Structure 1
C-alpha cells in the first residue's frame, strides 16, 4: 500500500469513495443522499485540506484530510473503501496523518466521528470530549473526539 498526496483531479472519485464508505454502516439511500454535500471534496480542497490517499495497485482505497493550522487542527475526513475495511488502511492513514500533523507543529487534533467509527478511533488513542451536531442530518449528534499529539 502506498500513502501519497492526493491530486486535485481525484476530488470527485474521493467524494464517491467517502459515500461508499459511509454506506458501509447500513445507512439508507436517503441518509447517504443527505450526506452527499458534506462529504464532497472539490478540486481546490485537496491541497488546502492536506488530503492524503492510500493506494493499492493504482487504485485509491482510502483517504484522510488534515484541516486547520497548528496548534490545534482537525482530522476532517478519514474514509476507507468498503472492500478494504479491516485491512489496516484506516490505521495507516490515521497514523500517517498524525505524523504529518506533529511535523507541522500541531499538538492536538479533533474529529467528529460517525458513531459506528468511534470504537476505531478509541483504539487509535482518541478520547471522546463531547458531541457535535451533524452537518447533514438535523437533530443528529456525533461523537466529538480528540487526540493529544504531545504524548
Structure 2
C-alpha cells in the first residue's frame, strides 16, 4: 500500500467511498440523503485541497483531505472502504496528513469528527475541544477535535 495525491478524475470514486464509509455506521437513508452533498467531492475540490489516497495494486482503499494554511489547518475528510476498516489504512492516511501538515508549517489541525470516529482520532493523539453543529443535519452536534503538531525536525 502507498499514499499518493488524488487525481481530479477520481472525484466520483472518492465520493462513493465517503458515502459507503459513512453508511457503515448504520445511518438510515434519510440521514445519508441529508449528508450526501457534504460528502460529495468534485474535481475542483480535489484540486483546491490536499487530497491523498491510499492505494494497493491500483485499488483506492481510502482517502484524506487536508485544508488550511499556517498556522492552522483541518482534516476535512478521512474515509476508508467499509470492508477494510480496522486494517490500518486510516492510520496510514492520518500519519500522511500529519506529516504533510507539519511540512506545510501547520501547528494545529482541527477535525469535525463523526461521533463513531472520535475513538480513532483520540487514539491518533487528538483531543476533544468541544462540539460543532453538523453541516448536514440540523440540531446534530459533532465532536470538535484538535491535534497539536510539533514543529518538523530539521
Q: Deviations over 1:62-87 (max 9, x none)?
A: 00000111110000000010011011
Which residue of structure 2 aligns with residue 9 of structure 1? 9
TM-score of the superposed pair, with normalisation by structure 1: 0.98
Deviation (angstroms), 1:47: 2.4
Which residue of structure 2 aligns with residue 147 of structure 1? 147
Which residue of structure 1 aligns with residue 105 of structure 2? 105
Deviation (angstroms), 1:135: 0.4
Q: Deviations over 1:67-118 (max 9, x none)?
A: 1111100000000100110110000000000000000100000010000000
Which residue of structure 1 aligns with residue 130 of structure 2? 130
Which residue of structure 2 aligns with residue 81 of structure 1? 81
CA–CA separation in structure 2 for the residues paired with 1:57 and 1:135: 35
Alpha-carbon RMSD = 0.8
Which residue of structure 2 aligns with residue 27 of structure 1? 27
Q: How many residues align?
A: 151
TM-score of the superposed pair, with normalisation by structure 2: 0.96
Counterpart of 1:51 in 2: which secondary structure? Answer: strand
**Higher alpha-carbon deviation: 85-94 or 41-50:** 41-50
Deviation (angstroms), 1:142: 0.1
Which residue of structure 2 aligns with residue 36 of structure 1? 36
Q: Which runs of 5+ in 1 are unaligned?
A: none
Q: Deviations over 1:38-72 (max 9, x none)?
A: 01111011121100000122111100000111110
CA–CA separation in structure 2 for the residues paired with 1:135 and 1:128: 18
Q: Which residues of 2 match residues 54-93 of structure 1 at below 5 A?
A: 54-93=54-93
Runs of 4+ in 1 over 2 A off after TM superposition: none
Q: Which runs of 5+ in 2 are unaligned?
A: none
Q: Deviations over 1:120-147 (max 9, x none)?
A: 0000000000000000000000000000
CA–CA separation in structure 1 for the residues paired with 2:105 and 2:47: 18
